[in-house]
Structure 1
């Protein structure tokens, strides 16, 4: 949409990922990702269904039944004033998430769900270093640059956002004050550090991981929400109360 602050946040996010994956904070990342701290359940990634020992579709049915009343409160069948209403947009995101599994396997050499932590790191590494440093079995070399399918789909996100903003006549370059840019940069940096240590972001965990019922993604998503609530309180709610 032309928000310069969002672009600054993306760079901060990448810097946080890179310095944690391969830079100054690598020892901390290696500590949390060491084999001794990786939890397996019968040689599989812990999920709600293999932890509880019941069929996954039973858990999906229970979660769906519990979510329906909350979704109905949001009037999902109401028509939006402009663009897609939240329910339509959510359904389309779900379709894209499903398609990503197939597309990454067919075009990229291995199934990968939607995420931005790994793909964003791979994209910038490919641009800056000529090698995305991704899985060799899922990498392709062209014009001297080695990249992954996931590093390329990252490009489609700002392109799609730009086209959408232009169609809605909402595109406009917006440059915030310097102090806000610094705050956004530091926020992106912290998010990148947390995403690398936590193994994913709100997309990788909240959209893809939660839908696979991975326990790690449920835990990560809960704390992402709690972290957001905490910062909203300190940055927005409390200052308004002090006025």
Structure 2
């Protein structure tokens, strides 16, 4: 049954690669380019997943408890994770699927990510991780539970807001972009050549996220999509040979790599790309920050930003906010400030008359 994780991951990797579903770029563009489309796409994926998963819960397919809220850990960890994904050049899932495209910088980021996550979860920094998480727990993590209402009183208004946003976005005048003559026809053109709309990609991601829950639960893992712990488990298995680290989540992240590789090869987008020294160092540092932050926060951009938000938990939405704040902070120092300095230097070098 754990092999279903490989299938689910392959679907996710394929869809994300073809749809260029990158939350790092999406969060960064909100700040730098004032472009919110990828953030709106994330909201679509959250809404689709939330409706589907809570229907499964209401029909008794599985039980779920939001647990407690380690609020300080979530805030600090998510902010650090947000900084890390800018330096790494991709979030947790984005790094996996870009590695499948042949991007060596993403391989370097993955190495740092897996290493630090393993150190935080079972290594020498485990006591620190546990201390931070247990030192600030609030009893209620469920938003509906906090207000004493049924979860549908939260989900339905949220879904309605998302539908309104989608309607407003799709109602805007379309800018015609000249396209090259298609080299393929039919399904092959749609799958491997046609440019995917981010909202279509997000809907597919939401459906796959729903599918992940019953498939994962069937193996005894009461969770949906998740990247950080499975990534750490891969390194732990490779270094110890302990088969207990091989679970549904491990096959999920391996499937993301496989699915992305298939999509990239079929669309002629696969090629090995070696980063320069500075980019390679930034990728490794960013990967370590990702592993450190996600371990403290209890989830990454997928575990918290997509799954825990869909479960309508405080953890998910607080984490999402501070991840975005972290990416904006890093984007300022990595992109905005250097441009401002370069512009100021250029102006100073212009001779005055």
CA distance in 2, matches of 1:76, 1:114: 32
Check conservation: 1:123, 1:152, Cα contact below 8 A: no
321, 324, 331: which one pairs with 1:222? 321
Q: Which runs of 5+ in 1 are unaligned?
A: 133-138, 140-145
CA distance in 2, matches of 1:72, 1:129: 52
Aligned residue in 1 for 2:220: 109
Q: Which residue in the other structure is 1:17 paired with? A: 117
Cα drift, residue 76 of structure 1: 8.9
1:214 is displaced (CA, Å) by 1.1
The Cα of 1:131 is off from its aligned counterpart by 2.1
Query: What do the CA deviations read for 1:37-82 (whole angstroms, capped 9, x no partner)?
Result: 33223xxxx2110011112112112212223343334439989973
TM-score, structure 2 normalization: 0.60
Q: Counterparts of 1:60 and 1:74 in 2: how far apart (Å)?
A: 21
CA distance in 1, matches of 2:313, 2:304: 9
TM-score (norm 1): 0.85
SS of match in other structure, 2:246: strand
> Do the aligned partners of 1:76 and 1:86 also contact (CA within 8 Å) in 2?
no
User: Which consecutive unaligned segments of at least 5 residues does structure 2 have?
Assistant: 1-100, 180-193, 343-353
Alignment RMSD: 2.2
Asked if the contact 2:118–2:233 (Cα under 8 Å) also holds between the matched residues in 1, the reply is: no
Q: Does residue 169 in structure 1 map to residue 268 in structure 2?
A: yes
Deviations 1:198-220 (A, max 9, x none): 11101000111000001111111
For 2:330, which of 188, 213, 231 is the aligned residue?
Answer: 231
2: CA distance between counterparts of 1:58 and 1:208?
19
Contact map agreement 1:83 1:168 (CA 8 A) in 2: no
1:3 aligns with one of 103, 109, 119: 103
Q: Which stretch has the larger CA shift, 223-232 or 52-61?
A: 52-61
Partner of 1:179: 278
1:89 corresponds to 2:188: no
Q: What is aligned with 1:143?
A: none
Identify if the C-alpha distance between structure 1 residues 74 and 15 changes in structure 2 by more than 3 Å, giving closer, same or farther.
Answer: farther
For the residues of structure 2 that align with 1:189 and 1:73, how far apart are their CA atoms?
A: 39
Instruction: Tell me the equivalent position of 1:120.
Output: 231
Structure label with greater radius of gyration: 2
- Taking CA–CA contacts closer than 8 Å with sequence separation of 6 or more, which of the two structures ends up with the larger relative contact order? 2
SS at match of 1:103: helix
- The C-alpha deviation readout for 1:7-56, integer Å capped at 9, x for no partner, is 1111111111122223332232121233x533223xxxx21100111121
State the Cα distance separating 1:224 from its structure 2 match. 0.6
Match of residue 138, structure 2, among 27, 30, 39:
39
Tell me which residue corresponds to 1:49: 144
User: 2:273 and 2:316 mapped to 1: Cα distance?
Assistant: 34
* 3-state SS of paired residue (1:33): helix
Equivalent residue in structure 2 for 1:99, among 205, 208, 211: 211
> Alignment length, in residue pairs?
225
